[in-house]
Structure 1
Amino acid sequence: MIQLVRISDELPEGFAALRAAADAEGFNALRRLEAEWAATPALYACLLAAPSPEGLLAIGGLTAEPEPQHEPAMRIRRPYVHPDARRRGIGRTLVNALVQEALDSVWLVTVNARNTLAPAFWTSLGFRAVAGRPWSHEFRADYSAA
């Protein structure tokens, strides 16, 4: 079973090792998260992590959509799952929790997955690929209203 914890003060124990794994893969998401958290932790409406006895398995956050829109939106930011923890449902659990958190206040959830290896992951979770937007995929609480 995967347990997620909400981060409110300091980045969780094991963050440095998770960041090192991301850096080794060439992903700078956790380096950016660390800098954003240090400078403006209030940027994140929600930051969730998946700790385990093995170490920190995953982390990801939620912010207000940074690009001006005609409707309120939230963006999933800096999601990362340790390579040794992939294909165990951890990323899916993390993203679903972030989407549910976002849907408490908005109808539109965005993510920019253009420069990742996982666009199919997002569509498998109900996100639609979009063009001409500042994000690559979006999830609407009610597509029939879109």
Structure 2
Amino acid sequence: MTIDIRMIRDRLPQEIADLENEARREGHLHITRLIGDWSVGVVRFEGDGERLLGAYVAEGLAGIGGMTIEPTLSGALRMRRFYIRPAMRRRGIGRMLALSLLDHARPCCSTVTVHAGNDAAAEFWESLGFQPRERDRYSHVLELDGSGCPDGESSLFRRP
């Protein structure tokens, strides 16, 4: 199985509606919020260090995940809107998507946060090195060893 990680810009993929339906059936509303925020321009993952990625398998959207600036912690990014279709879980897609986002974050910031909505999600994030730390609307933190942004990135995330 080939997993293709693609940056999402300008518009959300058409398959996002299917992802939203599956997430809703599981009781999750974060993909609905992603679509709503995107449509009104509130969150477009365009800020310094921000990124939205889609994971594709056989040209179909298997999952999505993004990073935004962490509003409660200076110099940090936050994993957001992370979702893998139930039929695609436990195949390494989520791990590959998360690692792609972390690779992007590593040179730009020192900390990444995430809110794990349930025990399975917490276990997933902890397997990637995130440590439980309940506060300020996030549940887990990963300390990175970044050494400053590449050229063209904001100094907001540069280490002193």
- The reply to whether TM is greater than 0.5 is yes
Q: CA deviation at 1:116?
A: 5.9
TM-score for the superposition, normalised by structure 2: 0.80
Residues of 2 paired with 1:9 and 1:93: CA distance? 23
User: Matched residue of 1:100: which SS?
Assistant: helix
**Corresponding residue number in structure 2 for 1:140:** 143
Question: Whole-Å Cα distance in 2 between the matches of residues 103 and 134 of structure 1?
Answer: 22
Distance 2:121 2:24 in 1: 17
Any gaps of 5 or more consecutive residues in structure 1?
none
In the alignment, which residue of structure 1 is the partner of 2:82? 79
C-alpha distance 26-42 of structure 1, shift in aligned 2 (>3 A): closer
**Alignment of 1:8 onto 2:9:** yes
Match in the other structure for 2:102: 99
Mark the CA change 1:25 to 1:8 in structure 2 (over 3 Å): closer, same or farther. same
Alpha-carbon deviations, 1:23-76, whole Å to 9, x = none?
111110100111111122654121000123362100011100022x3x310000
What is the RMSD computed on CA atoms of the aligned residues?
Answer: 1.7
Q: CA deviation at 1:19?
A: 0.9
The alignment's TM-score, normalised by the length of structure 1, stands at: 0.88
Please say if residues 110 and 137 of structure 1, whose CA atoms lie closer than 8 Å, have aligned partners that are also in contact: yes
Give the drift of 1:105: 1.1
CA–CA separation in structure 2 for the residues paired with 1:2 and 1:65:
28
SS in 1 for 2:120: coil
> More deviation in 49-58 or 80-89?
49-58
**122-131 vs 32-41, which deviates more?**
32-41
> After the TM superposition, which residues 1-146 of structure 1 pair with which residues of structure 2 at under 5 Å, given as runs?
1-40=2-41, 43-44=44-45, 45-53=50-58, 55-67=60-72, 69=73, 71-115=74-118, 117-142=120-145
Aligned residues: 140
In the TM superposition, residue 97 of structure 1 has moved relative to its aligned partner by 0.8
Confirm or deny: 8 A CA contact 1:13 1:56 kept in the other structure.
no
**Structure-2 separation of matches of 1:43 and 1:16:** 17
